[in-house]
């Protein structure tokens, strides 16, 4: 599928799904459930409190060209305020400090969030990838992308204090996440 064909399809997709083009494949991501959205808002509040000069953009379309001409919509993209002003639906990842994914309870979350998107964000040079895994009740911080892979990975259980490395530089208190464990 050509990128322009994907972008046209994504523009006309119903509101009940989000389309992405990762690793040369069309991916369908379900709409967030209540806990998914609540976890994202928890993270948004912490980012605003610690780094008010940054914005955590929900569902921001990113061109992850270096990874097989892909298009991804991370649950969150942390960037300086007004960074995406004037950009279209699909922005370049340059300047994005962190991407965030909160896993969904669907059949493809393992492949999509734990593997394909991690590789896409690393290949795009995004400094930090935070995976909030609702299935395992963990947070995984991936950092220092080099040669298309993240060099470091730190795993934390819900309830831990999580240090997001530079350039993010935020400490997360994850105790509240225990309330959303299944």
Q: Which residues contact 42 (CB under 8 A, 6 or more apart)?
A: 176, 177
Chain segment 137-180, per-residue pLDDT in tens = 999 999 999 998 999 999 999 999 999 999 999 999 999 999 98
Identify the three-state secondary structure at position 19.
strand
* DSSP run (H or E) holding 30: strand 25-30
CB atoms within 10 A of CB 172: 23
Chain segment 98-131, per-residue pLDDT in tens = 999 998 766 566 567 777 889 999 999 999 999 9
- What is the per-residue pLDDT for 26? 66
Report the share of the chain in percent with pLDDT over 90: 59
- What is the per-residue pLDDT for 107? 58
Do the bridges between strand 61-64 and strand 90-91 make them parallel or antiparallel, or are there none, so unpaired?
Answer: parallel
User: What is the chain's mean pLDDT, rounded?
Assistant: 86
Contact in structure between 74 and 100 (CB atoms under 8 Å): yes
Residue 181: both structure tokens together: 């464990």
- What is the per-residue pLDDT for 70? 83
- What is the per-residue pLDDT for 108? 61
Contact in structure between 76 and 58 (CB atoms under 8 Å): yes
- Total residues belonging to the chain: 182
- What is the per-residue pLDDT for 179? 93
- What is the per-residue pLDDT for 17? 60
Residue 8: both structure tokens together: 């046209």
The domains found in the chain, sorted by start residue, are 33-180 (3.90.1570.10)
Prior bond to 167 cis, omega within 30?
A: yes
- What is the per-residue pLDDT for 181? 83
């Amino acid at each position: 599928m050509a990128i322009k064909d994907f972008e046209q399809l994504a523009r006309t997709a119903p509101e009940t799904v989000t389309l992405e083009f990762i690793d040369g494949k069309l991916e369908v991501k379900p709409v967030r459930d209540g806990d998914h959205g609540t976890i994202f808002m928890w993270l948004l509040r912490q980012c605003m409190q610690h780094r008010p000069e940054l914005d955590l953009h929900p569902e921001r379309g990113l061109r992850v060209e270096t990874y097989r001409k892909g298009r991804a919509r991370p649950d969150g993209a942390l960037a300086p305020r007004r960074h995406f002003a004037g950009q279209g639906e699909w922005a370049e990842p340059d300047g994005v400090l962190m991407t965030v994914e909160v896993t969904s309870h669907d059949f493809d979350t393992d492949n999509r969030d734990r593997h394909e998107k991690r590789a896409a964000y690393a290949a795009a040079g995004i400094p930090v990838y935070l995976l909030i895994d609702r299935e395992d009740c963990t947070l995984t911080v991936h950092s220092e992308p080099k040669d298309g892979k993240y060099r470091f990975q730190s795993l934390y259980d819900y309830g831990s204090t999580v240090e997001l490395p530079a350039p993010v530089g935020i400490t997360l208190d994850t105790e509240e996440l225990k309330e959303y464990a299944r």
